[in-house]
Structure 1
Amino acid sequence: MKNLLQPAGIGILSMILMMVILWPWQTDEFAENREIRLRNVGHQILLASGDTTSRVLPINKISASEFIILFESPFQFEPDTLVKVIHTSLKEGLVTKEAEDSYQVNVLQCTGNQIVYGYQMSGQKDKTLVPCQGRIQPKDCYRIKIKFESNQLTASNFSVPIIIGILAFGFLFFFKQNPPKPLTQKEVDESQAMVIGKFEFNSGSYLLRIGKEEIELSQKENKLLKLFASHQNEILERDRLLKEIWEDEGVFVGRSLDMFVSKLRKKLLLDPNIQLKNIRGIGYILQVG
């Protein structure tokens, strides 16, 4: 019986692999030139405010579906015009498909990160919400955050249960025949090691190593450095840092973030090519030369 089960398991796993490879998965078709079109959005917003000279700064990509448009100079805007400009500008550069019709827009002040205006666009009209129309916002330094509805990989409702069932059976059979060996503590620690300049950062053991010197980290310092190390030379927003580090505690305290960043900055001084910089009004960046 065992001799029959093994070939059967291999056959099932091969069939799963073929289904995954050949299945017509749906992907996010707008991702390729989205950042270019977002720069055009910023350009058109400045033109609508009467600004023809100041620059649109590089687009800050928060995730695959979330972006922030940064501007060199203050400007004022009128919500009705802003909505039209963004919706129209997102269509430019698309030849063979319609522009995204589901996204959320928030306008934030550069200082304090306060949301001064926001609205929701949706392909379903009953879910579209555009408040405060006709109310001109004063001239100020603004950043515009746009979050698109992400198109995750999807298959037909009929095929999903079948694929899940086959996957479950195949993996149960495979691991029953070949149970994974438990990792030693050393292997666990090594698997979590990250390189930051001349440092070796081990989040599993809460340690920073440089040469023969070891620097211990607190729980918060460890979580914060792990996030920075995973996004070296990228700007991380204050809101994101507070949410990911302090979300479980239910209270977000900006001063706590600044204090732990200051502690990390001191512990990284042994490598002069590393700088943990404050990007005023936005967040922090771990620069590794």
Structure 2
Amino acid sequence: MSKKKIYIYSSLCVVLFFGWIFSDSNQKNEDFAERVKVSLRDAGNQLLLSNQDSTSLVLPIIELSSYKFKLSFQHQLSFEPSFLVEIVKNSFKKNKLHNYYRVEVKQCVDGEVAYSYEMKNELERNIIPCKGRVLPQNCYTIEVKFTNTTSLYLDKQFFLFALLFMMLVFIIDATFLRQKAVKKEVNTVQDAINIGSYQFYPEQNKLVMQATEIRLSKKECELLTIFVSRPNEIIKREELTKKVWEDNGVFVGRSLDTYISKLRKKIKGDDTIKISNVHGVGYKLELK
């Protein structure tokens, strides 16, 4: 794997790790709950003031469950539902609370829902219609349930899953590259052609004998490729020159002999192979 890839993966993992360390979902939930309570107390006070009541109390806000809260009052009150909708919306907006929630106004005596509505991104939908008429003087509780809680925060679970995902991608990528490298290595070994004690690698322009590597020029490699494809067979000079030089520039008279001489020197380490000259005809790779 390249150093650049390793750097990118490492950087992302470090960022996600520290995000996971420093993201405190419990603290965020507590902060959210506190802001909801402040907002509901503010809305409750405005409802009391609309009843010309500046002395009775808004009772402590109760958190019924995750993202569900109850507002209650010391004394009975009466209010117009549209006023409730407006003050709750404004109070939530002031405290930067999101606008996906359901509100139920319940009678204290029997728990019957006197009025209910739902907000979805500032669009109000009445569940129990009551707009246009005032709720009579009575004991009421107001319950608020936040409905789109998944978008509230990026908590520790997000960072943990993202970190695990990055590690998985890194492992898969590393495994794939390793398999690719092994496959390439295997293919390289399979591409070798045995010539006596030598291994000939046409694609890499080289001969290998034990631990010694012998580099070949392009022309030497092309000539040797022709010879090994037809061992112990006379190959005419005209055929060799045509295949090696025809499409690669002008052929100079003694070029073939020069390259044959170079090849002979490079394979002289093994007496069982040699390139012999058949006078007036061509050359032959002899393998014993």
**Smaller-chain TM-score bracket:** 0.3 to 0.5
Q: Which has the higher helix share?
A: 2
Rg (Cα) greater in structure: 2
Normalised by the length of structure 1, the TM-score is 0.43
TM-score, normalised via structure 2 length: 0.43
